[in-house]
Each structure stands twice: as C-alpha cells, then as structure tokens.
Structure 1
Amino acid sequence: MNIQKILLTCFCALILSACSTKDYSPDVYKKYTAKQILKNGEQALSKHNYNEAVKYFEAIDALYPFDPEAQQGQVDVIYAHYKAEDYASALASASRYIHLYPEGKHTDYAYYMKGVANFDKDKTLLQRLYPRKQENLDVSNLQAAFINFGEFLKRFPKSVYAKDAEKRMHYVRNLLASHELYIAKFYFDRKIYVAAVNRASYIVQHFEGAPQIKDALRIIIKSYRALGIDKQANDALRVFQLNFPKERV
C-alpha cells in the first residue's frame, strides 16, 4: 500500500510538472488590440485553459495598462489563477487590484477572492489524497480566510458575494473552533489545566456562535475546579447555565 502511495505521488508530480507553462513575453500579443486580447483570454478561461488565460490577461496589463480592458483583465486574472490552483498568485493579483482600484467596480470581488483563495489554499492534490490528522493541522490559511471574509463583510455587507462569504466564514469559524477545542481537550486530559483554560477561553472570546462554545465552557469550568479556583469556575458556570439552560456540565 505504501508503494502504491509513493508511485501515485510521483505520478501526480510528473503530471503537474508537465502542465507547467513556459516563460513567454507579452510582446507576442502586440499585433492584437486590448479588446482582442481580453476576448481571447476570456475564451481560454471558458475552455478551462487557465494558464493560457493568465498569459492573455497579463499581456493586457503589460501592453495596454491605461485601456479600460486592463482593469477587467486584472479582475479576470484573479479568477484564472484561482482556477489554476495557483492560490498565491490569486492572492497577489487580488491585493494588487485593491491597491490600484480601492474604489473600483470590482473591488468587492477582489476582497472576496482573497478569502476564497486562503480558504482553498491547503486543498492541494496530495493533501486531498492524504488528509492530515487534527493535531498536525496548520490552520494559518484558515485564520487568514476568516480575517479576509470578516473584512470583506465589514466593507461590503450588501455585495452579491456577501451571502456566500458569510457561509464560508461560519464554516471556517467552526473548523477553527474545532481545532482549538481539540487542543483544549488534549491539555485537559493531561491535566495541564492552565493551558486548557487558555485554549477554551480563546474559543469563547473569538468564535461567537460556534457550537464548540458549549464544550469549551465545560473545559473552563472543570479546569478551574481542578485548580481550586472556585470564583472563576462559578463565573463560567453562570455563563454556561445562561446560554445552555437545559444542558449539564
């Protein structure tokens, strides 16, 4: 089984290597107008030729930076990079658009795509094949996505992307809360109560509305009791009873 996994990994690496694009110069598109290049890029995008689409959109930016098509190309290249699973380039392109057009027609989309790119950044092919265990998770990209979506919703609450961003933000919130709860339980089970309280308190303070808050409060109460700190235990108990009157600690 291990040999099969190794062979599959090597095969995937070869495929990805074969699909990589060669260096090119935007000068090859000089004979086309900005409108023609944009049209060609959007056609490549519709045919799922994402790396080819990126070339067209970047060519517009290089050859016709002051034409109206340049701004549209800078929007389209964000999506092309994202669909090519080049999330770092999608993030960079989105940030660049925001810097150039802070009040632009598609600035809300650029902010939204920063969250989406970070949301999917860890979903590489190998990670789909070999999911990591909870204790080994690096949640930095999810944390970035949570911040991105929060900033987007604050700036553009009425955007057409707001509903999806809110759903994604809630999903990320629950993932992050689950991760923190796992660590809090890890410390509690090993009687490292101060660390358990700190992790559980972080959930309560930063992930309002998350279903993991109930168990986080239980850990706080039990940890304070184990430490002999009755006042804080009773304070946490009151919060628990107020929010979960039908539940037992």
Structure 2
Amino acid sequence: MTYAKSVGMRRVARIALVSLTLVGAGSGLTACQSDPDIDITKLGVETDPPETLYNQGLANMKAGKMAEASKKFDAIDRQSPFTDWARKALVMSTFTKYRMGANDDAISTGNRYLKQYPRSDDSAYVQYLVGLSYSKQIADVTQDQKAAGKTIDAMTAVVKNYPDSEYVEDAQAKIRFARDQLAGKEMQIGRYYLERKEYLAAIQRFRSVVEQYSNTNQVEEALARLTETYFAMGIVEEAQTAAAVLGRNYPDSQWYADSYKLLQSGGVEPRENKGSWISRAAIKLAGA
C-alpha cells in the first residue's frame, strides 16, 4: 500500500469517527471544531448557546418559518437537556410541530414534556396541545376512530388535571366532537347490519349509542333505527317504546315523525314499556 493511499484511508476513518461522535454526544463538537478540514455548519449541527437558539426559534416563528423554529428548539433539547431552557424549548417544539401538522411528533414531544415536568406552569398548555394534535387526526366516521378515543383521553386530562385553566372550555368541546364521532361510527356499522337484515347485530350498535353516547347528536337516529329494527323483527312493544322515548325527548324531530308513521303503518302508536332497557336508558337522555 502506498503512503498516500494509507494516509487517505486514515483520513476517511477519522472523519467518520468525528461525524458519529457529533450525533452521539456534544463532546464531539470540540474535536470537530479543532479539525480544520471539517465545516460543522454543513453538518446541520447547532452550536449556539441555548438562549441564542431559543431567540432564533422565536424569530423564525414570528416569520412563519415553523420548521426552522422547530429545529432550533430541538437543538436546545439535545444540547442542554433538563435545563430551564430545554424545558421551555420542549413547549415551543410541541407547538411548532403541531402548527406544522406533524401531529405524531407533537404528541411524542408533548408527552415527553409532561413526563418530565408534570407540574410545571406550562403543563396544562402542553396537555392541551397533545389533545389538539390527536383531534387533528380524527377521520371520517367511515374510517377507524382510534384518534377520537385518544382525543377524549387527552382532553379529559386537561379538564380533570387543570380544571382552572383557560383550555377547559375548548377541551370539553373537543371531547363532545370526538364522542359524536365515536357514536357516528357505531351508527354507520349499525346501518350496515340493518341494510343486510342482520337485526341483532344492528340493535347492538344502536343500543350502544343510546346507552353510552346519550348526549351526542346521534341518539335521535339511534332511537329511530331501534324503532325500525324492532318493528322489522316483529318485536312491536320494543319498537313502540323506542318511538315513545324518542318523541318525549325530541318531539319536533323528523326521526320521530318517521318512526310514528312507521308504527301507524302497523296499526300501533308509540307507547313506553317502563320495564324496557330503552326506558331505563331514557333517564340518561333526560339528564344529557
């Protein structure tokens, strides 16, 4: 092996070692800076003090450069972990990721903050951001509603853990929306079974809405569909009860008008059976 080739191989190995050190630990910065052959600015490594990086991040936010701002805040977290600057940077990193639509990253960063600083002044805000990030992922009711359940959990934590925070009102609104989505998913599946005359499976879904999601905007249709399904099965008394409960709670509803007409076609009218599960569930409807 020639002398030049040997030197070249050693040089490549040295550069690779310095690069790995930069990724793994801040101590590599010193070695890298002392090497005149490596320009650390081209490696994407932030070396400014945390206060400078934080102010740069704020400036980027003001300019609408959320991605650049997020990089600055993340650099603080890497270089100065568990410091006050890192704590503040985690808050801003969660926010910028949320604003960029990087919801999974925002959730991950926010949850890490909450684990490290559960009782800080910014905990309520970060918990709220986590809830918002989940809510942004809620899909149409024809799709999986896992994000709706996560939204409820995250926003419920805002309401329970930070009852005096300014985020409670919107957190409650997001919970109601997410519950409407979960109820809507149950209705979508129930209608699918009803169309195929799989009546027992349909009733199970409609019943879930009435019992578990009584304060959502899906309950009127659920009661109407129960009337329709029980009537189709020949279980007239339950159909009458579902219609009676619907009429008492939503007398002006088109769903009630349709249910009343359906019963009349069979020569009967709404009449509540107090022993029915539907009647018992009606107590929840009255308090919704």
Instruction: Decide: shared fold, TM above 0.5.
Output: yes
* 2:212 corresponds to: 206
Would you say the 8 A contact 2:76–2:85 is kept in 1?
Answer: yes
CA distance in 1, matches of 2:151, 2:114: 17
CA distance in 2, matches of 1:45, 1:146: 29
* Alpha-carbon offset, residue 215 of structure 1: 0.9
Would you say the 8 A contact 1:34–1:67 is kept in 2?
Answer: no
The aligned length equals 215
* Alpha-carbon offset, residue 98 of structure 1: 1.0
Larger Rg: 2
Moved more, 147-156 or 90-99: 147-156
> In the TM superposition, what whole-angstrom CA distance separates every residue of 1:81-106 from its partner, at most 9, and x where no partner exists?
11222111101011101111111111
* 1:240 corresponds to: 246
Consecutive unaligned residues in structure 2, runs of 5 or more = 1-21, 30-44, 260-288
The answer on 1:157 being equivalent to 2:163 is yes
Would you say the 8 A contact 1:41–1:56 is kept in 2?
Answer: yes
1:77-156 → structure 2 map (5 Å cutoff): 77-121=93-137, 135=142, 137-156=143-162
CA distance in 1, matches of 2:169, 2:111: 22
> In the TM superposition, what whole-angstrom CA distance separates every residue of 1:167-206 from its partner, at most 9, and x where no partner exists?
2222333333333222222221221111111111222233
State the one-letter code of the partner of 1:56: K
* 1:29 corresponds to: 46
State the one-letter code of the partner of 1:179: K
> In the TM superposition, what whole-angstrom CA distance separates every residue of 1:66-117 from its partner, at most 9, and x where no partner exists?
4321111010000111122211110101110111111111111122112111
Shift of the 206–155 alpha-carbon distance from structure 1 to 2, 3 Å rule, reads farther
RCO comparison, higher one (Cα < 8 Å, 6+):
1
> In the TM superposition, what whole-angstrom CA distance separates every residue of 1:135-186 from its partner, at most 9, and x where no partner exists?
4x22222232133222322222321112222222223333333332222222
TM-score w.r.t. the length of structure 2 is 0.66
CA distance in 2, matches of 1:173, 1:112: 17
Percent sequence identity over aligned pairs? 25
CA distance in 1, matches of 2:214, 2:110: 29
CA distance in 2, matches of 1:69, 1:199: 50
State the one-letter code of the partner of 1:29: E
* 2:231 corresponds to: 225
* 1:129 corresponds to: none
* Alpha-carbon offset, residue 234 of structure 1: 5.1
Would you say the 8 A contact 2:158–2:167 is kept in 1?
Answer: no
* 2:65 corresponds to: 49
Shift of the 223–152 alpha-carbon distance from structure 1 to 2, 3 Å rule, reads same
RMSD of aligned residue pairs (Cα, Å): 2.5
CA distance in 2, matches of 1:66, 1:166: 32
